[in-house]
Structures are given as structure tokens and as C-alpha cells.
Amino acid sequence: MAESDGVEKRSRGRRRTTLADVARHVGVSSMTASRAITKPELVTPALREQIAKAMEELGYVPNRAARALASSRSKVISVLIPSFSNAVFTDVLAGLQDAVDKDGYQVLIGNTRYSDEEEEKLVGIHLQSNPDGVILTGLAQSKRVRQMLAASAIPTVSMMDLPSEPGQYGVGLSQFDAGYTLTRYLIDKGYRRIGFIGAQLDERTLKRAEGYRAALQEAGMYSPAREILDPHPSTVALGAELLGRLLAVAPDCDAAFCCNDDLAYGAIYQCQRRGIAVPAQMGICGFNDLPQSAWMVPSLTTISTPRYRVGFEAASLLKQLINGVQPARSVIDLGFTLMARESA
């Protein structure tokens, strides 16, 4: 009858197969079954095989929550990135996954949307899962985030930038140097009134801007009037708009350093719509070297950043810390490459 179904005890429902079920099936204790998974070399081959067969037959699926609770190792790595729509961070994620997959880690991904508040919230939430390690983007975490992480005593590695404080672990590149290098290239190419277009205004953009300024000041060509900084997220549309704004306030510009490739695409499209020849009348360069940059017309001069490797190396470094291995270096500088192409 339907009614009696309603009163059924939880124990009557179909229950997942547990390690105890497997052990019973084979006629061993649960810890032998447990060991057959975690430390197979400690179990007689014959038994090991029987246990494996039983697991297969009974459709055993380990329960991560139980394992985490008992062992106090969650096998979870928490990763916080500022954006999903920026290809830079999905590349980083790919490297990270690849570095960590075979070790049985589960990657918990949080999107901070470039917000300190969101980051705090996410750290709090991720901490509930007792991650074995945490990977952060950038170095500009709020005090509260630092505190929470310090209190939890969980190994932490930061990505993209190079930490300068002792005790901090990080993998990335010097955003300042890259900005400087690209600007220096433009100067050497003969550009004299070089503008800067930056959006989002996150730490990396600001450091690239500093590199830009340093190079121009050194060459005696710096003018603050040629800097367009906008807090909105970087998009192609915004790049088009900001190039317009740059030309409105500084019509004599002969080049624009766009703080990422998306903005640069927009800037180039804007030039094309206005009949401004790139690079003849206006040099345009970007930052990051997204796949498209080599193919567009004109191809984009930009800085290639080792995003996949940043993710991979950050995860490798974190694994060492988790396992109590003292890493060779606490800061890994992966560098960058100037890609001189047609647009500047």
C-alpha cells in the first residue's frame, strides 16, 4: 500500500554499498578493504584481487565525505579566480587541473568577480570543505582573507604575480617588467606619443601601467593625458569605446598600449571603422596573446603570458607544501615573451 511506503524507515531504502558491505562479501575486516584501496602493497595479492572483484560486483563507490572526516585530509584544493570569461584564467585552470588530476585532488573553483567581498565570502565557504590547499589569484587579498587563511593554517600559493613578502608562495611573472618591455618596444619602433588603455583596474593592469609609465618617463615621453583608465570589465566593446575616448582627449596619439588583448581587438576594430590605418597611422598592442591575436588582420603585437604553466606550476608548488616538502624556491618567475607582429 502507498501508505505503508510513506512510513518506511530510512534503513529500508536502497542504501549505497559501503566498505563494510564489500568486506563482509569477501570475509575480511573493513580496514583490510580500506587498505586494499589506500595502501594496496600492504594487502596480500590474492585478497586484494578478491576485494577488487567484490567492489566491482557490488558497485562500490568510496564516500569522500567519510574519508575526509576520518582522515582529516579532504583531497580538495580551493582555487579562486577573478573571472570565468577571461580566457587567461580558464587557461590557468586547465594547467592546474592537469597538474593535480592524477593525484586524486578535487578542485573547488570560486569566481571572485574581481571583488574583495566575494573573495572573503568564497574563502569562508571553501574553508568549510577543509581544503588541503588554497590557490589565490594575485597578491591584493583583503586583511580578512589573510586572517582566515592564516588561522586555518592551510598552505596557500598565489598566481600571476610575484610575491615580495617573505613566507609567501607564488608563481607568475613581473607585470611591471612586461609593461615596461612592451612600451620600450613601441618607443624603439619609433612611436612617440603612446597612449595607455586600461580597464578593470585590477592589480595586474595597474602594474602594467606602472611599467608603461616608467619606460616613457625614462624616455622623456610621458604624458598623463594619454592614459585612459576605466573600472569596467575588459571587453571588446569597451576597447572600441576607450580608443575613441583616447583619440578625443589626445588626438595626437600615434600608438595605444591596451592592457589586454580584448581591449586591443576593440581598439583595432574602432580604427578600422574610422579608417585609421593600423599600424601606419596608429600602432596598437595588447597583452596576453590570446589564440586569436596571431590570426587577426592585422595580427596583434602583444605580450605572451605562460598562463597554462602558471596554473600547472602553482599546483605543483602547492602539492609540495601539502606534502610537507620544502620547495626549492618559494617564488617562481615564469617570465613572458614579446610577440612583435603587424599591429605595432
Partner DNA sequence: CTGAAAGCGCTTACAG
Residues of the shown chain interacting with a second copy in the complex, contacts defined by CB under 8 A = 14, 59, 61-66, 68-69, 74, 84-85, 87, 90-91, 93-94, 97, 106-109, 111, 124-125, 127-130, 151-153, 235-237, 240, 262, 265-266, 269, 272-273, 291-292, 294-297
Q: Which residue has the cell 574519508?
A: 67
> Which of a second copy, DNA, none has residue 91 at its interface (CB below 5 to 8 Å by kind)?
a second copy
Of residues 29 and 147, the one with the C-beta less far from a second copy: 147
Query: Is position 43 an interface residue for DNA (rule: CB under 7 A)?
Result: yes
Spatial neighbors of 73 by CB under 8 A, at least 6 apart, are 132
Which of 5, 8, 41, 165 touches DNA (CB under 7 A)? 41
What are φ and ψ of residue 337, in 5° steps? -135, 130
235 binds, among a second copy, DNA, none (CB under 5 to 8 A by kind): a second copy
3 state DSSP class of 297: coil
Nearer to a second copy, 94 or 140 (CB): 94
Cβ neighbours, 10 Å, residue 257:
33
Strand partners, 230: 199
**Least distance from C-beta 14 to DNA, angstroms?**
11
Cβ atoms of 246 and 256 within 8 Å: the answer is yes
Q: Which of a second copy, DNA, none does residue 287 bind to, with CB < 5 to 8 Å depending on kind? A: none
Largest Cα span, the chain: 89
CA dihedral 288, 292, 297, 302 (to 10 degrees): 10
Please enumerate in sequence order all residues whose Cβ is within 8 A of that of 114, keeping only pairs 6 or more positions apart, or say none.
82, 83, 200, 202, 233
Smallest distance from a second copy to CB 6, Å: 13
With CB under 5 to 8 Å by kind, the binding choice for 151 among DNA, a second copy, none is a second copy
User: CB of 344 within 8 A of CB of 301?
Assistant: yes
Among 32, 78, 156, 270, binds DNA (CB under 7 A): 32
Binding site for DNA (CB under 7 A): 10-11, 15-16, 18-20, 28-32, 34-35, 37-38, 41-44, 47, 60-63, 66-67, 69-73
